[in-house]
Structure 1
Amino acid sequence: MTELVVMAHDEAAMELAGRKLGESLPDGGVVYLQGTLGAGKTTLSRGLIRARGHAGAVKSPTYTLVEPYELTDGPVYHFDLYRLRDPEELELMGIRDYFTPEALLLVEWPEKGGGLLPNPDIQLEIAVVPEGRRLTFTALSNRGQAALARFPA
C-alpha cells in the first residue's frame, strides 16, 4: 500500500493538489475524499475537474448527490453523499450507470454509500492542521499505485 502526504497551506494549494491528482489519473478511477465539513474536499475536486478540461464553475453536489462532467478526457462524476439518508437512494438514482472503466469518480463522504460504491483506487484523507491541510493519499489498487507514482512533486 503506497501512501503520499502533501501539505496544502491555502485554497490555491488545495486546487493545485487536485490538479496534480487529476493529471495522475489519465484513465479514470475511483477516489474517496474524506475529511470534516469545510476541510476542502470540493476545493480539491475543483482543481481536479479543471485539470481534466472543465472551464466552468465547479459546485458541490451536496443537494444533487452527483455533478456529471462530460469531458474530452472522459467523464468525471463528483458525488457528495453527505445528505444521503439511505444507501438505497443510490440504487434509485442508477448509481451503477456511472461505474464505467473510463470514468473518474470522486466520492465525498463514501462511508454513507453502504457498500454500493466500487472500491477506491485512491483514498484521500484531508486533515485540518494549524498549517493548513494535510492530504494523505493512499493507493488501494494497482491503478492507484500507478497514479501516485505519477503524482508530480
Structure 2
Amino acid sequence: MSDIKPDSQNESAADYYGANLDESAVTHLAAALADTAPLTGLVFLQGSLGAGKTTFSRAFLRQMGVTGPVRSPTYTLIEPYDIAMGDLPTRRVLHLDLYRLAVPEELDDLGLRDEFDQALLLIEWPERGAGELPAADLLIQLEPVEQFPMRRTVRLHANTPEGIHWLSACRSRIR
C-alpha cells in the first residue's frame, strides 16, 4: 500500500511524506511536481546511492516534455534540457549530480550562478555544494524501504515561500 500525506512529524503546509511507495507512485509524485513546477527554482534531491534520485528526475523531466534520452549526470555533472512548451517560451531545466565534486568551489567552473534566476535546477547530492548553493525551494529526500528494497519513502520539504507555493499547488495531485 502506498500513502502520501502531510508529514506527521511536522504538520506544516511545507511538508509531505510518502511511505512505502512503489515505482508508479514515485513516478506519479514526480509528474505532479513537474505539472506544477515554477519556471525557475532550485530542487535538492537527497538520498543514499541507489535511492532513486535520478529515476525521480527522469520521471519529472519526462512529464515536462523531454522526449529524448534523459541521462544521469553522474559523469558530466550537468545535463541541460531546453523544453519547448507550445506557445510559451522555451523552459530551461538543468539536472546536476554533484557526487563527484572534490570541493564545493568547483561549482564555479560549471557557470551556474547565472542559471539560478533563469532555470529550474534539479540537484542530486547538493551537500557536495554546501556553502556555494543558495537555499533550495524544495527538498526531496528518497530512501529505500528496508523490508521492501523496490519501494521508497519520500519526504518533501519546502524551504522558501516559492517552494511552499509550489507544494501547495501540487497538493491536490499527490493525495
TM (norm. structure 2) is 0.80
Q: Partners of 2:108 and 2:38 in 1: how far apart? A: 28
Counterpart for residue 83 of structure 1: 100
The structure with the largest strand share of the pair is 2
How many percent of aligned residue pairs carry the same amino acid? 43
Counterpart for residue 126 of structure 1: 142
| Unmatched segments (≥5 aa) in structure 2 | 1-11, 86-90
Counterparts in 2 of 1:20 and 1:49: CA distance versus 1, 3 Å: same
The letter of the residue matching 2:138 is I
Deviations 1:19-64 (CA, angstroms, capped at 9, x unpaired)? 1111121333111000000000011101111111111221110001
Deviations 1:105-145 (CA, angstroms, capped at 9, x unpaired)? 00100010031112100111112213511110001111111
Q: Partners of 1:80 and 1:138 in 2: how far apart? A: 20
Q: Partners of 1:77 and 1:107 in 2: how far apart? A: 8
Counterpart for residue 62 of structure 1: 74
Check the 8 A contact 2:57/2:122 in 1, yes or no: yes
Counterpart for residue 83 of structure 2: 71
From the CA coordinates, give the structure whose radius of gyration is larger.
2
1:8 deviates by 5.6
| Unmatched segments (≥5 aa) in structure 1 | none
Counterpart for residue 157 of structure 2: 138
The letter of the residue matching 1:9 is L
Runs of 4+ that moved beyond 4 A: none
Q: Partners of 1:51 and 1:26 in 2: how far apart? A: 14
- The 3-state SS of whatever aligns with 1:150 is helix
Check the 8 A contact 2:74/2:100 in 1, yes or no: yes
Deviations 1:51-110 (CA, angstroms, capped at 9, x unpaired)? 111112211100011000001241110010011112222112212132124x11001000
Q: Partners of 2:40 and 2:17 in 1: how far apart? A: 21
Aligned residues: 152
TM (norm. structure 1) is 0.91
Counterpart for residue 93 of structure 1: 110
The letter of the residue matching 2:139 is Q
